[in-house]
Structure 1
C-alpha cells in the first residue's frame, strides 16, 4: 500500500479569491443566517425571501462563521477591495 502525504498550506484560505468572489463568500454566510440585504446587488444575488434580521449585528453567527467572515474581510482589505 502507498502512503499519502498531507501538506498543510500556510496561505490564507481566501488568498487567491478576487474581490467579487470574496464579496459573494462573505455575503453567503449572512444570507444563510437570515440577513435582509439592502443593496440591489446583494438582493439580486441572494434575495430576501425568509430573511429575519435587518441589522448585520443582529445576525446570529456561529464562532466558525464569525471566523470565516473575519478571514474574508481581512483578505478583502489585503486585496484593497471596494467597500
Structure 2
C-alpha cells in the first residue's frame, strides 16, 4: 500500500510550483486517491481507472457506496485538497 505521496505534494504546494510542473504531481495524487477506492472494492468505469487498477473483485459501482474507514476518508480529503491547491483537473 502506497502511503507516502502526500509529503512531496505538500512540499510542492509550499514551494508554489507552477501548474505545468504539477502534472506529474496530479497524476500521483490521482493514483493515490483511486488506490484507496480500489482497495475498498470500487469498480472503475474509465479506461484510465480500469487500466491502472482493474476491476477484478470489485464490488461497488457507485463511489458513494464504497465503505471507507475514517482514516481512508481523511486521506482522500487531504488528497482532494492538495489537488485543488496544485491546480489539478479531475
TM (norm. structure 2) is 0.75
Q: How many residues align structurally?
A: 72
Give 3-state SS (helix, strand or coil) of 1:18's partner: helix
Residue 64 of structure 2 is aligned to residue 57 of structure 1 = yes
Q: Is 1:81 aligned with 2:83?
A: no
- What residue ranges of structure 1 are gaps of 5+ in the alignment? 1-11
Structure (1/2) with the larger helix percentage = 2
Please give the alpha-carbon distance, in whole angstroms, between the structure 1 residues aligned to 2:81 and 2:62.
21
Per the TM alignment, residue 56 of structure 1 is displaced from its structure 2 partner at its CA by: 0.4
CA distance in 1, matches of 2:87, 2:61: 27
Query: TM-score under structure 1 normalisation?
Result: 0.82
Between structure 1 and structure 2, the one with the greater Rg is: 1
Deviation by residue 1:8-52 (Cα, 9 ceiling, x = unmatched): xxxx64424700000000000000000000000010000000000
Gaps of 5+ in 2: 1-5, 13-23
Query: Is 2:37 the counterpart of 1:30?
Result: yes
Aligned-residue Cα RMSD (Å) equals 1.4
> Which structure 1 residue ranges, 4+ long, deviate > 6 Å from structure 2?
none
Alpha-carbon separation, structure 1, partners of 2:65 and 2:88: 25
